Amino acid sequence: MSNEATTAAGSTTPVTPDATAGAGNIAAFIDHTLLKPEASEAEILKVCAEAAEYRFKSVCVNPIWVKTVKTALKGSGVLTCSVVGFPLGATPSDVKAFEARGAVLDGAEEVDMVINIAAARANDKGALVDDITAVAEAVHDGGAILKVIIETALLDNAQKVLACEAAVEAGADFVKTSTGFNGGGASAEDVALMRRTVGPDLGVKASGGVRSLADAQAMIAAGATRIGASSGIAIVKGEQGSSAY
């Protein structure tokens, strides 16, 4: 089953997921992820083959690999996902927008951006809205979907709410917990807070530290409609994955 139905270019309506879903259903929630800077082409192609075999939702990679992934996944039904301003978010908004346009032109159907974390910590909602809007326009112009990484490990609860509100206001399609590179990852508590903040119509992606079927089910029960993980195979097999992202 799919975890969300596409209603228009750049927008999704989450379908209420089954928190008790077994491995066969969980696969459709997973963005199979390889974002290590040292990843080789052989490793990227291996991840693509795995995603096609297990029917994951997408393969998420750094921008240099988007063309490779798009070609490798052709005909598989698995989406191509890339990242923008990753992993720090400390890039000017117009540069993030340029990067996003390039990724979409190369074949990315989904883009995960990192917000201006300093703005979130300064409670500057206007700066956050401007940052996300610039990327949202670039992504949506290409018919792709935008996920907004708020980096929960670096924010308090009020700042998490502020960042999620900014994502909604800017027209994002998802909010996402973490990069997995800046200390800490997803927690069910953060996912639940994000779901309460964005309401039922935006996607919520739990990412970072989701390494087992039980972890994934806990995130879905809390309100996640997508799981970002490098341990996708372990998750669907009911095993314990590694900490590598």
**pLDDT tens-digit series, residues 53-68:** 999 999 999 999 999 9
- Amino acid identity, position 201: D
Q: What pLDDT does residue 21 have?
A: 52
Q: Are 83 and 35 in contact (CB under 8 A)?
A: yes
Domain spans in the chain, listed from the N-terminal domain onward? 23-232
Q: What pLDDT does residue 200 have?
A: 97
94 classed as catalytic = no
Assign a CATH topology to domain 23-232. TIM Barrel (3.20.20)
Q: Are 138 and 97 in contact (CB under 8 A)?
A: yes
Selecting among 112, 131, 173, 190, the annotated active-site residue is 112
Q: Are 160 and 195 in contact (CB under 8 A)?
A: no
Q: Where residue 184 falls among pLDDT bands split at 50, 70, 90? A: confident
Q: Which residues pair with 33 in a beta bridge?
A: 60
Q: CB atoms < 10 A from the CB of 209, how many?
A: 20
Q: What is the pLDDT of residues 37-55, one digit of tens each?
A: 999 999 999 999 999 999 9
Angle, nearest 10°, between helix axes 93-106 and 125-141? 20
Q: Quote the tokens at residue 151.
A: 């980096």
Q: Where residue 202 falls among pLDDT bands split at 50, 70, 90? A: very high
Q: CB atoms < 10 A from the CB of 206, how many?
A: 31
112 classed as catalytic = yes
Selecting among 96, 173, 205, 215, the annotated active-site residue is 205
CA distance 237 to 242: 13
Q: What is the pLDDT of residues 106-150, one digit of tens each?
A: 999 999 999 999 999 999 999 999 999 999 999 999 999 999 999
Instruction: Measure CA of the first residue to CA of the last residue in the chain; give whole Å.
Output: 25
pTM of the predicted protein model: 0.90
Sorted by sequence, the CB contacts under 8 Å of residue 240 that are 6+ apart come out as 211, 212, 231, 234
Residue 160 has pLDDT above 90, yes or no: yes
Selecting among 31, 176, 190, 215, the annotated active-site residue is 176
CA distance 227 to 218: 11
Q: Which residues pair with 137 in a beta bridge?
A: none
67 classed as catalytic = no
Q: Where residue 14 falls among pLDDT bands split at 50, 70, 90? A: very low
Residue 221 has pLDDT above 60, yes or no: yes
Q: What pLDDT does residue 182 have?
A: 87
